Amino acid sequence: MEALRFEYFVIVLAILSFWYIRRLRHDDGLPWNWPLVGMMPRILSKVNRAHEMCAKVLNQEGGTFLVKGPWFTNMDMLFTVDPANVRYVLKDGYANFHKGQEFKEIFDVLGDGIVNAEFDLWKIQRKHAQFLFSLPQFRKFLMRISTEKVEIALITVLDHFTEQGQVVDMQDLFQRLTFDTTCMFVTGYDPGCLDIKLHEVPFLKAMDQTEEVIFTRHLMPQTLWKLMRWLNVGSEKKMSQAKKIIDDELYTYIKRKRKEVSSAGGKFEDGAQGNRADLLTLYITEEDKSLGLENNDEFMKDIVLNHVLAGRDTTSSALTWFLWLVITHPQVESKIRAELKACIPQNEAEKRKFFSDEELSQMPYLHGAISEALRLYPPVPFQHKEPVKADVLPTGHRVHPKQRVIFSLYAMGRMATVWGKDCLEFKPERWISREGSMKYVPAYKFTTFSAGPRACLGKKVAYTQMKAVASALIYNYNFKIVEGHKVIPNLSVILLMTNGLKVRITDRWS
């Protein structure tokens, strides 16, 4: 009997080996659905090229593909970039699609902040963010700190590296810049990360580590990474260490802010320098008693972390990819410079210049170039939803509760069915109408800022910051990528460059 069982095992193993070898010889790029383990072997073997693999598979499959996970792990995922499906999940069928409990557990480091929040908790946070963005003193405060950080801090660092002739990692500079500015309009305090010493910032490193671990959790059965967390080993040990650094830093800000608000009589107002027109002050002075959140430092910490993450990482990612695309497309760089130069008096055209928000709002080509970079390299490369009850998407695909529906925004920007045959080209012109104005593109086709009820409130703020930085850099400096430097997307929930963006800089007006 034992011999017979062994023979059966050998036969099954031989058949599986034959199928696998045959699959390799006729590889069409699609993951093979194996017994027991599903498609995970193929996915894990290509994990270093996950974004490109996803784009290739979705192009082959018409924009939607079901990834089968290992048996009994509840890891089946429906990937889709079909605009009709995106619109349905984010708007028309919004009530049936939430982030789900598993999402909240994967992103547990963000606590009850707006990224994880649902229902009333999400509504109150969104209401507060909308209120803040509508305040004249906040907009004034935002413009002031953005201008100061670009024209003083960033330019000082760039001039230093230009004079020294040293290689600089622009991705690192952008992360420091956006961390400083985001912390200032979220907490009111300047961490001072952007200076010529470029000292190590434990908080920034901890943020990067948490994002990498969150990405890893998406590829593991929940029971496995939770076991690792319980044992405090591997990537989960890295997560716990990073979380402690983040928590300690943010609790320091909150304690300091409570003292400041208390000494001011608990009022939310614009101080002499506008240094209290920030989100943390708003929450502390307008605590919502109906949710029982008063005097809850942990909730305040979650609020700050969510907004710092959203502002710091997404904007720095967008600027990094934008600058790389402009450097590698000289014709685009020339057109941006021509557009910038057109608003300058002729006798001032050969001097250093910084552009106001009013001037930049009249530059459609620059806006189009930034939008095109966001299309090809979205800072958040995928979104994740789960249906509350079984549903059918517009493409006819059925989804069931606890099944992840994932939008690959990276793949969406590379779909010929969505953007045309030239979808892989960097063409700012696709965003400009024949009349020369910005062309309307539906959010369900360009989903970088999400869509529907949860559309990003900071879209205008992000464009304002990116235009200010982009115009200052492109008009005043020349950039050259270091020879041999490889630009590769990293594997994280934020699309950064694995090796940074190493360049040499020269001043155009020296």
Q: Specify the pLDDT at position 17.
A: 47
Least confident of 3-7, 162-166, 246-250: 3-7
Q: Specify the pLDDT at position 510.
A: 77
The per-residue pLDDT of the chain, averaged, comes to 86
User: What CA–CA distance (Å, rounded) separates 485 from 503?
Assistant: 9
Burial call 167-189: b when 16+ CB within 10 Å, e when fewer: ebbbbbbbbbbbbbbbbbbbbbb
Binding residues for heme: 456
Q: Specify the pLDDT at position 288.
A: 53
Averaged pLDDT, 215-222? 84
Q: Specify the pLDDT at position 470.
A: 97
Averaged pLDDT, 368-393? 95
Q: Specify the pLDDT at position 273.
A: 42
Q: Specify the pLDDT at position 372.
A: 98
* 10: confidence class by pLDDT, cuts 50, 70, 90: very low
Q: How far is CA 307 from CA 110, 278, 311, 366, 391, in A?
A: 10, 11, 6, 26, 32
Q: Specify the pLDDT at position 491.
A: 82
Q: Which is more confident, 417 or 492?
A: 417
Strands 404-408 and 77-80, sheet pairing? parallel
Binding residues: 456
Q: Specify the pLDDT at position 505.
A: 96
Q: Is the pLDDT of residue 40 over 80?
A: no
Q: Which of 137, 183, 489 is nearest to 324 (CA)?
A: 489
* Alpha-helix residue ranges (DSSP H) falling in 220-356: 222-231, 234-263, 279-285, 297-327, 330-341
Q: Is the pLDDT of residue 323 over 60?
A: yes
Q: Specify the pLDDT at position 311.
A: 81
Averaged pLDDT, 366-394? 95
Averaged pLDDT, 230-255? 94
The answer for residues whose C-beta is within 8 angstroms of residue 336's C-beta and 6 or more apart is 326, 365, 366, 369, 470, 471, 474
The answer for residues whose C-beta is within 8 angstroms of residue 93's C-beta and 6 or more apart is 391
* 4: confidence class by pLDDT, cuts 50, 70, 90: very low
Percent of the chain residues topping a pLDDT of 90: 54
* 126: confidence class by pLDDT, cuts 50, 70, 90: confident
Least confident of 188-202, 272-286, 430-444: 272-286
Q: Which of 262, 291, 344, 249 is nearest to 128 (CA)?
A: 291
Q: Specify the pLDDT at position 276.
A: 61
Q: Specify the pLDDT at position 301.
A: 92
User: What CA–CA distance (Å, rounded) separates 71 from 58?
Assistant: 23
CA triple 47-52-55, angle to 5 deg: 120
* 295: confidence class by pLDDT, cuts 50, 70, 90: low
* 21: confidence class by pLDDT, cuts 50, 70, 90: very low
Q: Specify the pLDDT at position 416.
A: 94
Q: Name the amino acid, one letter, at 402.
A: K
With 0.85 as the threshold, say if the pTM is over it. yes
Q: Is the pLDDT of residue 15 over 60?
A: no
Q: Is the pLDDT of residue 58 over 70?
A: yes
Q: Specify the pLDDT at position 38.
A: 77
Q: How far is CA 245 from CA 202, 242, 314, 470, in A?
A: 7, 5, 21, 32
Percent of the chain residues topping a pLDDT of 70: 89
Q: Is 492 left (phi over 0), alpha (psi -120 to 50) or beta?
A: beta
Q: pLDDT for 165-203, tens place per residue? A: 999 999 999 999 999 999 998 898 899 999 998 888 899
**SS3 of 326, please?**
helix
Q: Is the pLDDT of residue 73 over 80?
A: no
The beta strands (E) that lie in 153-248 are given as 168-169
